[in-house]
Amino acid sequence: MADLLSAWRDPELAKHLVELIAEAADRPMKIMEVCGTHTVAIARFGLREVMPPNVTLISGPGCPVCVTANRDIDFAIEIGRLPNVVITTFGDMMKVPGSYSSLSREKADGRDIRIIYSPLDALKIAETEPEKQVVFMGVGFETTIPTIAVTIKEAKKRGLTNFSVLSVHKTVPKALEALINDPEVQIDGFILPGHVSTIIGPEPYRFLATQYHVPGVATGFEPIDVLQGVWMLARQIKEGRAEIEVAYRRGVNADGNPTARALIEEVFEPSDSDWRGIGVIPGTGLAIRAEFADFDAAKRFDVTPPVPKDIPGCKCGSVLRGVILPFECKLFGKGCTPEHPIGPCMVSSEGSCAAYYRYTDYGR
């Protein structure tokens, strides 16, 4: 395993790929990595610093925790304030601020909010504490959604009446279209998310090339993966081509994962979704289908969250759109750090601000 990993971190091969990128970059090129894991890899291995002057790598809305809108967090908080309700979620959601509070703050105030590592853990809580209503806050992209679908099906199979899911899931491809149509965002190519692409395959991105003439390359997360993806994009841009290519063939099949997609389609249906920094994007959310409506927390609980408001001074939304870099926010590294995050982009380990702070000189 170590030998296999070292091949994807080979310094001589990396140097050669950087030289190839420099040869192909015959004009300024702005390339967006969509996935938060790519953002971390680029920062951790210093790949942004070795790019030729003509190539700018910018981060996009690839952190599902970061793009969760305040109104969705506010809604979860209001449900958690009801008596005999347990809110369960993954750890990185705890500190993400809503408009007036966060799940971690609510927990400190005595609300029953628990960190779990699998949505199936929430089912166990529902079974062992039948007097409680157990809600799982479902956050994530296509990569994690199949596991939530399985959980909802299992809850129905077990006949649980005290379990539900608050679905704030999001799907990626159409969000990229929203970025292309944003006049403030100028993108010449996309490093497409590797994990998401293992589920959906390359085809759902095809419209980027055919309709907008913007190329994309799905790639992995090691330095050689990322550099290969950038080189393939730079070469396409230089040659005036726009195609959707796969550099991550050890993980991404032409048809993705049909079984996982079938699970998603069985339990969920497309809906509109509010993305932090971008706004409502039609068809990028996933609502629970009528056949599983008994497990839809949005329908089970009649709560009215407060009018959402932005976090003063936080520019996370602009970072997620690629309009500014993290260190261009006045709070970065000052009032806002991973230990004391003010905005979502500094909370999650996949957040752009957290990655810049931990792995670059801008954090020191």
Rg, the chain, Cα only: 21
- Per residue in 224-263, pLDDT (tens digit) is 999 999 999 999 999 999 999 999 999 999 999 999 999 9
User: 3-state class of 164 per DSSP?
Assistant: strand
Alpha-carbon torsion angle 329, 332, 334, 336, nearest 10: 120
> Is residue 148, in this structure, part of any structural domain at all?
yes
Task: List Cα–Cα distances, 97 to 5, 28, 355, in angstroms.
Answer: 37, 36, 18
Q: Write out the two tokens for 28.
A: 């300024």
- Please tell me the total count of domains within the chain: 1
Residue 211 pLDDT greater than 90, yes or no: yes
User: 3-state class of 57 per DSSP?
Assistant: strand
Reported as a pLDDT band with limits 50, 70 and 90, residue 284 is: very high
User: 3-state class of 307 per DSSP?
Assistant: coil
How many C-beta neighbours within 10 Å does residue 217 have?
29
Q: Which of 209, 214, 208 is nearest to 187 (CA)?
A: 214
User: 3-state class of 273 per DSSP?
Assistant: strand
Q: Which of 268, 269, 229 is nearest to 252 (CA)?
A: 229
Residue 125 pLDDT greater than 70, yes or no: yes
What is the spatial distance between Cα 182 and Cα 186, in angstroms, rounded to a whole number? 8
What is the spatial distance between Cα 138 and Cα 170, in angstroms, rounded to a whole number? 10
Q: Which of 308, 319, 311, 313 is nearest to 280 (CA)?
A: 308
Q: Which residues contact 56 (CB under 8 A, 6 or more apart)?
A: 28, 29, 30, 31
Contact between 53 and 22 (Cβ < 8 Å): no
Can you name the residues that pair with 58 across neighbouring β-strands? 32
> Is residue 55, in this structure, part of any structural domain at all?
no
> Is residue 311, in this structure, part of any structural domain at all?
no
Contact between 64 and 237 (Cβ < 8 Å): no
Q: Which residues contact 215 (CB under 8 A, 6 or more apart)?
A: 188, 189, 190, 208, 209, 233, 236, 237, 241, 242, 243, 244, 245
Reported as a pLDDT band with limits 50, 70 and 90, residue 363 is: low
Higher pLDDT, residue 26 or 363: 26
Q: Which domain holds residue 272?
A: 65-171+260-300
The two counts, helices (H) then strands (E), for the chain are 17, 11
Residue 364 pLDDT greater than 60, yes or no: no
Residue 6 pLDDT greater than 80, yes or no: no
Total count of residues recorded for the chain: 364
> Is residue 285, in this structure, part of any structural domain at all?
yes
**How large is the angle between the packed helices 352-359 and 36-44, nearest 10 degrees?**
10
Q: What is the CATH number of the domain that holds 289?
A: 3.40.50.11740
How high does pLDDT run on average in the chain? Answer: 94
- Per residue in 56-77, pLDDT (tens digit) is 999 999 999 999 999 999 999 9
- Per residue in 306-333, pLDDT (tens digit) is 999 988 999 999 999 999 999 999 999 9
Question: For 38-70, b where at least 16 C-beta lie within 10 A, e where not — what string?
Answer: bbbbbbebebbebbeeebbbbbbbbbbbbbbbb
What is the spatial distance between Cα 155 and Cα 300, in angstroms, rounded to a whole number? 15
Alpha-carbon torsion angle 260, 266, 267, 271, nearest 10: 100
Q: Write out the two tokens for 183.
A: 């006049």
- Per residue in 137-165, pLDDT (tens digit) is 999 999 999 999 999 999 999 999 999 99
